[in-house]
Amino acid sequence: MDLVNDRYTIQGVDLVELTETYGSPLYVYDAEKIEAQFKQLTSAFSGVKMRVKYATKALTNISILKLLRSIGSELDCVSIQEVQMGLKAGFEPEQILYTPNCVSISEIKEAVELGVMINLDNISILEQFGNEFHNTVPVCIRLNPHIMAGGNKKISTGHADSKFGISIYQLQHIIRVVNTYGLNVTGLHMHTGSDILDAEVFLRAAAILFDAAKSFKDLEFIDFGSGFKVGYKEADIVTDIEELGEKLSEAFKEFCKEYGRELEMWFEPGKFLVSESGVFLTKTNVVKTTPATAFVGVDSGMNHLVRPMMYDSYHEIINLSNPNGTKRIYTVVGYICETDTFGLDRKMNEVKEGDVIAFKNAGAYAFSMASNYNSRLKPPEVLIHKGEAKLIRQREVFEDLTRNQIEVDI
């Protein structure tokens, strides 16, 4: 997002004008930013065979998936519906990794029928899988390295009390299941959490995976998940991708020598690829003052952007309509019948009713977690691609709320 002649733009497209064209609230994504993030990651790991499996759950719009496919990304999916979305977007089944959690064996069998790579994180399901398929279907196993990492406990998935992955301390149990059913294990996987700053976290977890890998003789890849931290505030510390690429690539190549052949390194970035591409545009409904606080109430709420309420996440908030106004302190809130505070005591250019308020870092886990709470309609999405704004999801209408309801006579 650039400020040009007192107007905020993306690729030369005026954001305030977009709200006049498509209404408010509105999600907007910058294709150039997604492409730049992908290039940065692949360049940092250019010395190894590496695949990027975009974490579909971060932003599932089919046009975003097609954009990522066009630049060389593959997919990580966590539900059969995400798998179906990926196939609809043009991905080949072998480009899709399916990593479910706490699903039934019937959904996993459906994924097998679709031909995607299966990644299992539960011994019970692994046994059921073995009983059904034996060595006829390759499988990846998700391990929990018992490393606490991430910016919030709700997004830390590799700690000892996590529901994700099979404990590394159960490795011998895993091996017994694999040997009993003759499973064809071609990959090992881990994911420790999000917002990881230190390359040493990945290196510690990698050492655990490398040691476990010695028990599996037919591996083709090791999947390191993701969790790279992006910037939310000015001067935020972020994951040094170049340092991580250098250190982890060196460790990986050393492991491959010891293992006896070159394997592939996989990553599953979601937030890293799309978070900074997104901006959420809202309009100021009211400016309300109390004896202690000046509230800016916008035409959205936790129904459209739940991350601040769910994760205490920080989104920079900007008044696009008054870039040169006097700085004042506001608390920005939504219109939902809950305490849906987007930002507490934020310094912003003076706000008037009708001003367009933007939330940055709204590309990941924003629209994809939106709901119809309070019977509110979901907003449209726009992708700015090669300097042109393209509508990639239309705004819902009231009929969308009642489409699947069945009225009965009472």
In angstroms, the Cα distances linking 335 to 28, 342, 381 are: 21, 11, 20
Structural domains of the chain, ranges and CATH numbers in brackets = 2-29+276-402 (2.40.37.10), 31-274 (3.20.20.10)
Enumerate residues 6+ apart whose C-beta is below 8 A from 408.
none
In angstroms, the Cα distances linking 8 to 155, 320, 322 are: 32, 6, 10
* 153 pLDDT above the threshold of 50: no
Q: What is the mean pLDDT of residues 122-136?
A: 95
Q: Please tell me the pTM assigned to this model.
A: 0.93
Average pLDDT, the chain: 93
Q: What is the mean pLDDT of residues 324-340?
A: 96
Q: How many angstroms from the chain centroid is the CA of residue 267?
A: 12
**338 has binding-site annotation:** yes
Active-site annotation holder among 102, 140, 256, 337 = 337
Q: What is the H or E stretch that residue 342 is in?
A: strand 341-349
Cα 256 from Cα 47, distance rounded (Å): 13
Cα 178 from Cα 220, distance rounded (Å): 16
Q: What is the mean pLDDT of residues 238-244?
A: 90
Rounded to the nearest 5°, which phi and psi values hold at 38?
A: -65, -45
Among 23-37, 183-197, 328-342, 353-367, name the one with the lowest average pLDDT: 183-197
pLDDT in the model for residue 191: 77
What band does 239 get if pLDDT is binned at 50, 70 and 90? confident
DSSP letter for 241, please: H
* 285 pLDDT above the threshold of 70: yes
Cα 326 from Cα 347, distance rounded (Å): 10
* 160 pLDDT above the threshold of 70: no
Cα 183 from Cα 177, distance rounded (Å): 8
Longest dimension (CA), the chain: 72
Cα 248 from Cα 53, distance rounded (Å): 17
Q: What is the H or E stretch that residue 50 is in?
A: strand 50-55
- Please name every residue paired with 222 in a beta bridge, in sequence order, or none if there are none: 188, 265
pLDDT in the model for residue 201: 80
Cα 8 from Cα 5, distance rounded (Å): 8
* 227 pLDDT above the threshold of 60: yes
pLDDT in the model for residue 19: 98
* 157 pLDDT above the threshold of 70: no
More confident residue, 406 or 203: 406
Nearest to 332 by CA among 283, 290, 295: 295
pLDDT in the model for residue 70: 98
- SS3 state of residue 92: coil
Q: What is the mean pLDDT of residues 282-289?
A: 97
Q: What is the DSSP string of 347-365?
A: EEE---TT-EEEESS-SSS
Cα 394 from Cα 410, distance rounded (Å): 34
What percent of the chain shows pLDDT beyond 90?
A: 86
Which residue shows structure tokens 């010695």?
214
Six token digits for residue 141:
């196993």
In angstroms, the Cα distances linking 230 to 134, 202, 234, 235, 345 are: 41, 16, 11, 11, 23
* Degrees, nearest 5: CA angle 334-56-156: 70
**301 has binding-site annotation:** no
pLDDT in the model for residue 167: 92
**268 has binding-site annotation:** no
Enumerate residues 6+ apart whose C-beta is below 8 A from 354.
283, 284, 321
Burial (0-12, 13-18, 19+ Cβ within 10 Å), 233: exposed
What percent of the chain shows pLDDT beyond 70?
A: 95
**330 has binding-site annotation:** no
Pinpoint the alpha helices (H) of 281-340.
Answer: 307-311
Q: What is the mean pLDDT of residues 25-50?
A: 96
User: From the DSSP assignment, how many helices (H) and strands (E) are in the chain?
Assistant: 12, 21
**311 has binding-site annotation:** yes
385-399: burial string, b at 16+ Cβ within 10 Å, e else: beeebeebbebbeee
What band does 238 get if pLDDT is binned at 50, 70 and 90? confident
Pinpoint the alpha helices (H) of 23-70.
Answer: 31-44, 62-70
Q: What is the mean pLDDT of residues 385-400?
A: 98
pLDDT in the model for residue 204: 87
DSSP letter for 150, please: S
pLDDT in the model for residue 32: 98
Six token digits for residue 3:
């400020």
* 159 pLDDT above the threshold of 60: no
* 146 pLDDT above the threshold of 90: no
pLDDT in the model for residue 302: 97
Q: Decide if 33 contacts 59 (C-beta within 8 A).
A: no
- Please name every residue paired with 264 in a beta bridge, in sequence order, or none if there are none: 221
Q: Is 337 a catalytic residue?
A: yes
pLDDT in the model for residue 384: 98
pLDDT digits (tens, 9 = 90+) for 87-124: 999 999 999 999 999 899 999 999 999 999 999 999 99
